C-alpha cells in the first residue's frame, strides 16, 4: 500500500465501529419502545378496571341508601344500625377513591409509578366498600326470607320445643324416682340442670306465643328476631337437659361401682387384719388397727345405706368414701409390713393381682362387647385405662409398685364393667 493511502485502514475501522454503534442504539430504542408499550398496556388495563369499579361502587352505595330506607321502615331503627354504619364506611372509602381519581385526572403530569399506585388504591378502596355493603345486603335478604317463611319456621321451632319439653318431662320423672331413693344432696347437680332447662323452655314458649300473635295479626312488626331467640333458647335447653341426663347417669353408675368397691374393701380389711395380728411392732399394729377400724366404719355405713334403700344416701359420696378407705388401708398395710417382708409379700401377691387384673379386664371386655351398640365412652375409657395399667404392672420391676398398679387395673376394670352394665340397662339390653 502506498504511503498516500495510510489512512484507509483507520477509516475502515471507524466505519465498522460506527455501524455497530448505530445498530446498538437502534436495538436499545426498539427494546425501550417494547417496554413502554407493555407498560402502557398494563397501566391502561389497571385504569379501566379502577374506573369501572368506581362507577359500580358509586351505584352500589346509592342503591344501598335506598335499601336502607326500606329496611328501616320494615324492621325499625334499631335493626338497621349496622347497615347504616356499613353505608357510612363505604361512602368514606368511595370519597377517598374519587380523590385519587381526581389526582389522576388533573393537569399535572404523574409518573407511571404514581398512576399505577393510585389506581391500585382505587381498586382496593372500591372492593372494600363493596364487600361491606354486600354483607349487610345479604343479611337483610336472609331476614326478609325469614319473614316470608315465618309461619313455617314457627311450626319448626314449635316442634323442637315440644320434643324438648317431652325430654324434660322424662328427665323430671327420672329425678323424681332418684329422689325417692337418695338424699337431696345427691341430686343437687341434676336439679340445677333441670331448672336451667325449664327456664329456657318457658322463655322459648313465651317467645313463640308472641311470634304467633304477630303472624296472625298480619302487621308489619318483624318476627325473625323473636323466632331466632326462641330457637336459641330451645337449643340451649338441650345442652342443659344433656347435662341433667349425665348427672343422673353418674348417680346410677356410682351406685353400681360402690358395690364393687365394697367387696374390695372387705378383702383389704381381711388382709390388713392378718398383717396386724402377725406384726412384731406393737406401735405399728396399733396404727394399722386404727385404719382397719376406719375402713370397717366406711364399710358398715355403706351396708346400712344399702339396707335402708338408700333414702339418705349420696351414691357419689359413698363411692368416694369407699375409695378413700381402700387407699388409706392399702397405704397403712404396706407401711406396717415392714421393709423386710414387704417385697416378698408383694412378689407373692403380685401374681394373684395380675391374674385378677386379667380376669376382671376380660370380664369387662366381654361385657362391653356384648353391649357394643349401647356402651358409651366412659366404660370404654375405664377399660382402656385398666389395660394400660396392666401393661405397666407387667413391665414394672418393683413388685410393690407393680402390685399397686395391678390393683388399679382391677378397679378400672370393675368400673368399666359397672358402667357398661348401666348403659345396657338404660337402653334396654
Which grid coordinates belong to 209? 306465643
Q: Are residues 27 and 135 in the same domain?
A: yes
User: What pLDDT was estimated at residue 382?
Assistant: 92
Number of separate domains in the chain? 3
Q: How many CB atoms lie within 10 A of CB 159?
A: 11
> DSSP 3-state assignment of 373?
coil
Tell me the C-alpha to C-alpha distance, in Å, between residue 226 and each of 147, 208, 213, 301.
11, 7, 11, 54
Would residue 247 be called left, alpha or beta, if left means φ above 0 and alpha means ψ between -120 and 50 degrees? Answer: alpha
What domain range is 106 assigned to?
7-148
Cell of 88: 357510612
In this predicted structure, what is the pLDDT of residue 284?
Answer: 66
- Write down which residue in 208, 239, 270 finishes a domain: 239
User: Does residue 281 sit in the same domain as residue 305?
Assistant: yes
Please indicate, yes or no, whether residues 278 and 400 belong to a single structural domain of this protein: yes
Report pLDDT digits (tens) over 389-400.
999 999 988 787
Are 256 and 224 in a shared domain?
no
Backbone angles phi, psi at 108, to 5 degrees: -75, 130
Chain-centre distance for alpha carbon 360 = 35
Contact by Cβ (8 Å): 396, 405: yes
Domain termination site, one of 191, 209, 239: 239
The residue from 148, 172, 194 where one domain ends is 148
Instruction: Report the percentage of the chain scoring pLDDT > 70.
Output: 78
Answer yes or no: is 312 within a domain.
yes
270 and 408: one domain? yes
What pTM value is reported for the model? 0.44
Does one domain contain both 222 and 126? Answer: no
Same domain, 364 and 421: yes
Give the rounded distance of the alpha carbon of 107 from its chain centre: 60
CA separation for the pair 60, 55 (Å, rounded): 9
* Residue 186 placed within a domain: yes
Tell me if 103 sits within 8 A of 110, measured CB to CB: yes
348 lies in a domain? Answer: yes
Are 37 and 66 in a shared domain?
yes
173 shares its domain with 92 = no
The values of phi and psi at residue 111, to 5°, are -75, 165
In angstroms, what CA-CA distances link 143 with 68, 76, 158, 325, 348?
A: 14, 13, 19, 62, 75
Residue 77 lies in a domain: yes
Q: Which triple of cell numbers denotes residue 212? A: 304467633
Res 90: pLDDT? 87
Residues 208 and 304 in one domain: no
Residue 91 lies in a domain: yes
237 in Cβ contact with 164 (< 8 Å):
yes
Q: Are residues 51 and 194 in the same domain?
A: no
C-alpha to C-alpha distance for 126 and 244, rounded to whole angstroms: 53
Low-confidence ranges of the chain (pLDDT < 50): 1, 33-34, 36-38, 219-220, 311, 339-340
Q: Is residue 246 part of a domain?
A: no
**Is residue 22 in a domain?**
yes
**Is the residue at 2 inside a domain?**
no
Residues 125 and 135 in one domain: yes
Task: Please identify which residue in the block is written with the cell numbers 317467645.
Answer: 207
pLDDT at 194: 94
313's torsion region: left (phi>0), alpha (psi -120 to 50) or beta?
beta
Residue with cell 368397691: 261
Amino acid at each position: 500500500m502506498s504511503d498516500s493511502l495510510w489512512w484507509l485502514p483507520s477509516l475502515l475501522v471507524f466505519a465498522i465501529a460506527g455501524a455497530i454503534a448505530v445498530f446498538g442504539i437502534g436495538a436499545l430504542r426498539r427494546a425501550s419502545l417494547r417496554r413502554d408499550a407493555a407498560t402502557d398496556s398494563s397501566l391502561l388495563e389497571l385504569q379501566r378496571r379502577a374506573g369501572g369499579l368506581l362507577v359500580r361502587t358509586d351505584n352500589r352505595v346509592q342503591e344501598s341508601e335506598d335499601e336502607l330506607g326500606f329496611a328501616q321502615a320494615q324492621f325499625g331503627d334499631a335493626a338497621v344500625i349496622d347497615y347504616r354504619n356499613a353505608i357510612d364506611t363505604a361512602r368514606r372509602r368511595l370519597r377517598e377513591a374519587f380523590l385519587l381519581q381526581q389526582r389522576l385526572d388533573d393537569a399535572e403530569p404523574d409518573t407511571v409509578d404514581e398512576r399505577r399506585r393510585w389506581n391500585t388504591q382505587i381498586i382496593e378502596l372500591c372492593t372494600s366498600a363493596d364487600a361491606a355493603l354486600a354483607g349487610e345486603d345479604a343479611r337483610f335478604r336472609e331476614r326478609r326470607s325469614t319473614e316470608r317463611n315465618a309461619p313455617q319456621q314457627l311450626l319448626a321451632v314449635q316442634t323442637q320445643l315440644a320434643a324438648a319439653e317431652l325430654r324434660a318431662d322424662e328427665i323430671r320423672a327420672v329425678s323424681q324416682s332418684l329422689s325417692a331413693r337418695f338424699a337431696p344432696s345427691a341430686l343437687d347437680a341434676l336439679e340445677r340442670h333441670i331448672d336451667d332447662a325449664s327456664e329456657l323452655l318457658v322463655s322459648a314458649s313465651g317467645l313463640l306465643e308472641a311470634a304467633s300473635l304477630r303472624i296472625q295479626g298480619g302487621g308489619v312488626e318483624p318476627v325473625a328476631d323473636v323466632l331466632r331467640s326462641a330457637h336459641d333458647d330451645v337449643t340451649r335447653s338441650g345442652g342443659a337437659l344433656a347435662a341433667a341426663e349425665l348427672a343422673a347417669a353418674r348417680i346410677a353408675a356410682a351406685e353400681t361401682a360402690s358395690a364393687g368397691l365394697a367387696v374390695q374393701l372387705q378383702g383389704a380389711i381381711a388382709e390388713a387384719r392378718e398383717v396386724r395380728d402377725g406384726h412384731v411392732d406393737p406401735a405399728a399394729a396399733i396404727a394399722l388397727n386404727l385404719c382397719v377400724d376406719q375402713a370397717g366404719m366406711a364399710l358398715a355405713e355403706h351396708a346400712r345405706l344399702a339396707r335402708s334403700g338408700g333414702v339418705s344416701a349420696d351414691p357419689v359420696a359413698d363411692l368416694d368414701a369407699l375409695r378413700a378407705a381402700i387407699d388409706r388401708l392399702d397405704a397403712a398395710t404396706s407401711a406396717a409390713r415392714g421393709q423386710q417382708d414387704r417385697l416378698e409379700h408383694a412378689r407373692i401377691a403380685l401374681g394373684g393381682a395380675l391374674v385378677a387384673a386379667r380376669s376382671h379386664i376380660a370380664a369387662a371386655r366381654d361385657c362391653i362387647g356384648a353391649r357394643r351398640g349401647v356402651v358409651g365412652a366412659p366404660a370404654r375409657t375405664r377399660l382402656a385405662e385398666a389395660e394400660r395399667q396392666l401393661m405397666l404392672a407387667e413391665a414394672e420391676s418393683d413388685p410393690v409398685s407393680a402390685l399397686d398398679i395391678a390393683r388399679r387395673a382391677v378397679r378400672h376394670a370393675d368400673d368399666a364393667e359397672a358402667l357398661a352394665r348401666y348403659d345396657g340397662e338404660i337402653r334396654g339390653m
